[in-house]
Amino acid sequence: MKDANSPKRQAERTRRQDRQWTERFIARGDEDAFANIYRRYNARLYALLLRLLAWDAPLAQDALQETWLRAVRSLSTFRWESALFYWLRGIALNHCRELWRAQNKREASRGELDERTAQVYGTQSGLAIDLERAIAELAEGFRTVLILHDIEGLTHKQIAQHLGIASGTSKSQLSRARRQVRRRLAGKSGIEPSPREEK
């Protein structure tokens, strides 16, 4: 059928399935229904949290668990005005911000960062590891905006809504974050240094 596999149709199918599983889970606490939702989104949420929390894996796993617990407790209040993953991502992001506000953070050491990125990418993926490391070394605000925009694909308007900041702030933070990442990557894995590196 024409357009049957278009991104829009696929998103509609995903949304419909998510809603069916969610309703089954709310009505009966059905484990299979929850497992379907969990399998679909858990690895995406973990990748997001791991990056936001600068590859502190134990903290990211605690945050992931907290995200699911909060989601389960409030699934019945979800109004389906957005995709389920957007909502889950919002919960994860809010929890990260709470952790940062509470200063409940422990930056992974360079050795831990190397070890964890190597576990995920293997030792051959030098450029990906260098990029992950450069993102992890950004300050939280810059890191968050860059992850949401350049990896998660959110618009500045969506980022502004999530973080409670102005769109212009999101743009300027992204700009500075990119310059810092570029500076850290300069000369590595064949990437040319930028003529406008931030000092």
Partner 1 sequence: MNSNDEWKDQEKDAFEGLRREIDPGPDFDRRLWQRLRREGALHSSAATARYRGWLLQVAAAVIFFALGLGLGTWLPDAGQPRQADGRYMLLLLPGEAPASPASADRLVAEYGEWARDLRRQGRTATGERLAGGGPMLPSGQAEPEVPALEGFFIISASSPEAALDTARTHPHLRYGGRIALREIIATD
Interface contacts to partner 1, rule CB under 8 A:
28-32, 34, 38, 42-44, 46-47, 50, 60-61, 64-65, 68-69, 72-73, 120-121, 125, 127-128, 131-132, 150-151, 171-172, 174-175, 178-179, 182, 185, 189-192, 194-196
C-beta neighbour count of 10 within 10 angstroms: 11
**Nearest approach, Cβ of 82 to partner 1 (angstroms)?**
19
**Nearest approach, Cβ of 101 to partner 1 (angstroms)?**
24
Give the CA distances from residue 5 to residues 1, 2, 68, 85, 91, in Å, rounded to whole numbers and listed in that order.
Answer: 8, 8, 30, 20, 29
For residues 143 and 177, is the Cβ–Cβ distance under 8 A? yes
**Nearest approach, Cβ of 178 to partner 1 (angstroms)?**
5
The distance in angstroms from the start CA to the end CA of the chain is 55
For residues 89 and 114, is the Cβ–Cβ distance under 8 A? no
Q: Output 13 or 58, the one with its CB closest to partner 1.
A: 58
**Nearest approach, Cβ of 2 to partner 1 (angstroms)?**
28
The one-letter amino acid at 181: V
* SS3 state at 122: coil
Q: Output 40 or 97, the one with its CB closest to partner 1.
A: 40
Q: Output 111 or 190, the one with its CB closest to partner 1.
A: 190
Q: Output 24 or 97, the one with its CB closest to partner 1.
A: 24
Q: Output 164 or 195, the one with its CB closest to partner 1.
A: 195
**Nearest approach, Cβ of 132 to partner 1 (angstroms)?**
7
DSSP code per residue over 130-161: HHHHHHHTS-HHHHHHHIIIIIS---HHHHHH
